[in-house]
Homo-oligomer: A and B are copies of this chain.
Amino acid sequence: MSADGAAFISCCCIICSNPSAGYILRAVVRDFEGAAVTMADDKWTESVRSVKGVILDMCGVLYDSGEGGGVPIEGSVEAVKRLKASDLQLRFCTNETQATREKFVAKLCRMGFEINVSEVFPPAPAVVSVLKQRNLRPHLLVHDDVVPEFDGVDKSNPNCVVIGDAADNFSYENMNAAFRVLIGLEKPVLFSMGRGRYYKETDGLKLDVGVYMKALEYACDVEAEVVGKPAPMFFQTVLNDMGLQPHEVFMIGDDLVNDVGGAQQCGMKGLQVRTGKYRPSDERHPTVTADGYVDNLAAAVDAILKHRCP
């Protein structure tokens, strides 16, 4: 492969075009080993050189969740280390709502990741902030382990519903209880911590909170307020914490619509990894095209750092 920085993604990591960003990266050539590589044009080269920060999705990028907390994705522990050792700012933006932020970070540290609580942005603290601002008292349909995030919130006589990835708590009984609160309100208010369709655990794909959000939206003829990716305000909170402009930041995730599409809506570049919930059909999605598709986080970090330090 050439070392001049033009062909910076190794074979099987195809960087493709984002028509909305106005540059084309589809000129595929073959290097002397016959492997498929993709030539980047000057604009792309420039955007990698000017990047000042990276935001990583967590589940499906760092690890696959499942029984016992999950397992790291090969190369991801090392990839996070390399990003931390670089001159790039690093944050983690997750729709994880099955644990408090502290317990979630502790789990990742046990897997070998070097992550601080202050670097991680999940929806629960954000929704608590919104509830307090608007004097709302939630009925919670969430995972038991995230309930402590709402300890300081008045939950008596609820006037809104908050749902998260409640997993087994999404029983018919609990769904009816949330529905009855909503349908009893003059103007139902429903907060959804994310709007994902499904995610991958070690034992297979599982339904995510967005599916139950849609269910309650239909039941009550209401539109949920999404707190979490892909809500622009949620990404903006992370950008504010980094002190960076959107065009200076790459988002890397396994969810094409919520990670990549959401970040692009905010003006960031979005890369999709082919791990976690990635499916090959994502690369032919009718409305969202990633700025790049890479095999995994290690390959993405290779591509970015290699280009920055030729």
Interfacial residues, chain A to chain B (CB-CB below 8 A): 166-173, 175-176, 179-180, 183, 197-198, 204-207, 210-212, 214-221
With A198-B219, A214-B218, A218-B214 as known contacts, state yes or no: A207 contacts B176, CB within 8 Å.
Answer: yes
Q: When the two chains form their complex, are residues A219 and B197 in contact, meaning their CB atoms are under 8 A apart?
A: yes
Q: When the two chains form their complex, are residues A168 and B173 in contact, meaning their CB atoms are under 8 A apart?
A: yes
Q: When the two chains form their complex, are residues A168 and B179 in contact, meaning their CB atoms are under 8 A apart?
A: no
Chain B residue numbers with a CB within 8 Å of A219 are 197-198, 207, 211
Chain B residue numbers with a CB within 8 Å of A216 are 211
Chain B residue numbers with a CB within 8 Å of A172 are 166-171, 207
Closest-CB distance, A158 to chain B (whole angstroms): 16
Closest-CB distance, A171 to chain B (whole angstroms): 6
Q: When the two chains form their complex, are residues B218 and A176 in contact, meaning their CB atoms are under 8 A apart?
A: no
Q: When the two chains form their complex, are residues A210 and B204 in contact, meaning their CB atoms are under 8 A apart?
A: no
With A167-B172, A172-B167 as known contacts, state yes or no: A205 contacts B218, CB within 8 Å.
Answer: no
The 9 closest A-B pairs by CB, nearest first: A214-B218, A215-B215, A170-B172, A211-B215, A211-B219, A197-B219, A168-B172, A214-B214, A176-B206
Q: How far is the CA of A234 from the CA of B207 in the complex (A)?
A: 31
Closest-CB distance, A86 to chain B (whole angstroms): 37
A214: nearest residue on chain B (CB-CB)?
B218
Q: When the two chains form their complex, are residues B197 and A218 in contact, meaning their CB atoms are under 8 A apart?
A: yes
